Amino acid sequence: MEFGPHLMLASLEGAVIASVLVLTSMGLSIVFGVMRVVNVAHGEFYMLGAVLAWYVTSLLGGHPAVGFVAALVAAPLLVGAIAASADRVILKHLKYDPDRTIVATIGLLYIIQQTTLMTFGPDARPVAPPFNHRLALPWFEFGDSGFAMYWPWGLSTTSYKLFVIAAAAVVLIALWLLITRTKIGLIMRATQQDSETAQAFGIPVGRVYSMVFGLGAALAALGAVLVVPIQQAHYLMGADPLLLSFIVVIIGGLGSLPGTVVAALLIGMSDGIISVFFSPTLAKIIATFLVAMVLVWRPQGLFGRSVP
Amino acid sequence: MLEVKNIHAAYGDAITLHGVSFDVQPSEILCLLGRNGAGKTTTLKTVMGILPVTSGSVTLEGEEMSSLPPHEIPRRGIGYIPQGRRLFPELTVNQNIEIGLMTRGMGKDTKEWVLELFPRLRERLKQTAGTLSGGEQQMLATARALCLRPKVLLLDEPTEGLQPSMIALIRDVILKMKNEGFAIVLVEQKVDAVLQVADRVVFIENGRSVDRATAADLKRDPQMLTQYLGV
């Protein structure tokens, strides 16, 4: 395949990675932005979403679409509820102290991971996509006879991958509307800016924190449900999303939601493109190098504000 | 109305209040006076439930406040204007007001009422609070607290860092609230300003309420001011 069509193919793969990454990173960013908690267990909520998606689909059987739709609803809700309970039982009692919550979420990481291993076993589990039509993609070239369209061999994607991109965009818009246009969003932003004053205006800060921790985990789980028909679900799959999400929120600026979106697109696209042309390992090396550069030259991230 | 009886409070292990008592009635302005670090702001924070009461009691119209979750205290009708205004700086003026209205489920009539008190805020409704001038920020902090239509209003140094014209405006609003039946607890450093508006004064020293007087008595005999404030 020529370079142009090959790049387009790599960009599409990158867009799928970016779509899932943007959801996962938004979860991590919202939790840090509102609660100032660095959630090291975030990748395990992603893993749990994927494993529960497999469990729900295998439990229901029938047409793959039925199980997938059920998983799309049930897995984020279950994971969100587990995270909200973890907040009430663990983080609340640590008074959201930044250092102690890091240690606590490391503990939570191992509890979730090992419980999943004991319950579901070590095998990787496939989930059938609800639909998966192969779509050939056209390529345009300017030649002697003007613009010409042709169908290069191998330049194709699947309807499911396009669905992942569209679904992530819809969820992102819904999240933006929730935060900017609703009463719940206003309460979340007030709590983020000054939790003590928010409390003095009748906002139950503890409940807001539980809801936000649950929402962050549910977003990670949603990303995982979307990805699990492409990648298989297994108990160790949380590490990569955690690393990439941290890379995204550091580059975008901790707690900055627009920064998170831009950085997720940047890292996701570059990860896809570099993985296709070179290797996935090189993609991770470059991403972590980029984080190091951002931390040296702009520690507040691309969109974050420096602390005076 | 609001009765504070021998409250003790602590920041972590450090005990900061060792027995503060006062009461305030409707249409009355009570001022807490004391040197820097005496415990005035801590007293207001403890009444609001931001710091837990370790012993003693805070009652509003006979209902114990110190056993309620902190977010229930403003819902019962205690409004708070914190030191330094503590607005939500990235929310608009309108959204800051909405937060105040939400606290006790107040509606558009309350919003109109506060915007009539502070017409300048009406012109700034879409502006983010952090970009307002100091005086406008104080207006917004006051408006936000008044959106609760509180029974008791706690004000912590409302004139700090303001120019004289703005101080006069805030003083007029405080007096207007008093005439409308609000019970007001005021923490203020400017003794002259206090004596202009206060009905009674409680002196706080080292986390204790140590003395009390009427403003009229203090105007006649300022000896207590010299004793507790060195002025």
Distance CA A267, CA B114 (A): 48
Contact A84, A218 (CB under 8 A): no
Identify which of A193, A198, A201 has the shortest CB distance to residue B90. Answer: A193
The vertex-A15 CA angle with A14 and A18, nearest 5°, equals 85
Read off the pLDDT of residues A165-182 as tens digits, 9 standing for 90 and up.
Answer: 999 999 999 999 999 999
Helix (H) or strand (E) run with residue A120 in it: helix A98-120
Chain A partners of B82 at a C-beta cutoff of 8 Å?
197, 200
Disruptive mutation site among B42, B68, B88 for chain A (greatest number of A CBs within 10 Å) = B88
Read off the pLDDT of residues A254-296 as tens digits, 9 standing for 90 and up.
Answer: 778 889 999 999 999 998 899 888 998 998 899 889 889 988 9
Cβ within 8 Å, pair A189-B90:
yes
Name the token pair of B45.
């924070």
Can you list the domains of chain A with their CATH numbers?
3-297 (1.10.3470)
For β-strands B200-205 and B208-214, DSSP reports them as: antiparallel
Chain B partners of A193 at a C-beta cutoff of 8 Å?
88-91
Contact A189, A179 (CB under 8 A): yes
Domain ranges of chain B: 2-77+150-229, 87-149
Chain B partners of A186 at a C-beta cutoff of 8 Å?
91, 95, 98-99
Read off the pLDDT of residues A117-150 as tens digits, 9 standing for 90 and up.
Answer: 999 999 999 999 999 899 888 888 887 778 888 8
Q: What is the ipTM of this complex?
A: 0.92
- Cα separations (Å) of A304 from A188, A289, B86, B155? 18, 19, 21, 33
Identify the residue with better confidence: A77 or A277: A77
Report, in this order, helix, strand and coil percent for chain A, each rounded to 5: 70, 5, 20
Nearest to A49 by CA among A239, A228, A246: A228
Chain B partners of A258 at a C-beta cutoff of 8 Å?
none
Cβ within 8 Å, pair A202-B72:
yes
Read off the pLDDT of residues B159-176 as tens digits, 9 standing for 90 and up.
Answer: 888 888 888 888 899 999
Q: Which CATH entry fits the domain spanning B2-77+150-229: 3.30.565.10, 1.10.357.10, 3.40.50.300, 3.30.43.10?
A: 3.40.50.300
Contact B187, B221 (CB under 8 A): no
- The answer on pLDDT for A307 being more than 70 is no
The pLDDT value recorded for residue A132 is 87
- Average pLDDT for B63-81: 95
Read off the pLDDT of residues B125-143 as tens digits, 9 standing for 90 and up.
Answer: 999 999 999 999 999 999 9
Read off the pLDDT of residues B111-120 as tens digits, 9 standing for 90 and up.
Answer: 999 999 999 9
Contact B142, B162 (CB under 8 A): no
Name the token pair of A269.
């696209």
Q: What secondary structure does DSSP assign to A216-278, as a single string?
A: HHHHHHHHHHHHTTTS-B-TTTTHHHHHHHHHHHHHH-TT-HHHHHHHHHHHHHHHHHHHHHS
The string over A227-260, giving b where at least 16 C-beta atoms fall within 10 Å of a residue's C-beta and e elsewhere, is bbbbeebbbebbebbbebbbbbbbbbbbbbbebb
Q: In this complex, is the C-beta atom of A198 within 8 Å of any C-beta atom belonging to chain B?
A: yes
* B108-113, Cβ contacts within 8 angstroms, sequence gap of 24 or more: B110/B146, B110/B147, B110/B149, B111/B147, B113/B146
The string over A182-211, giving b where at least 16 C-beta atoms fall within 10 Å of a residue's C-beta and e elsewhere, is eeeebbbbbbbbbbebbbbbbbbbbbbbbb
The pLDDT value recorded for residue A247 is 92
Between chain A and chain B, the number of residue pairs with CB atoms below 8 A apart is 58
- The answer on pLDDT for A308 being more than 70 is no
- The answer on pLDDT for A1 being more than 70 is no
The pLDDT value recorded for residue B218 is 87
- Average pLDDT for A227-237: 95
Helix (H) or strand (E) run with residue A296 in it: helix A280-297
Q: Is residue A101 packed enough to be buried (19+ CB in 10 Å), middle (13-18) or exposed (0-12)?
A: buried
Name the token pair of A170.
């819809």
Q: What secondary structure does DSSP assign to B158-203, as a single string?
A: TTTT--HHHHHHHHHHHHHHHHTT-EEEEE-S-HHHHHHH-SEEEE
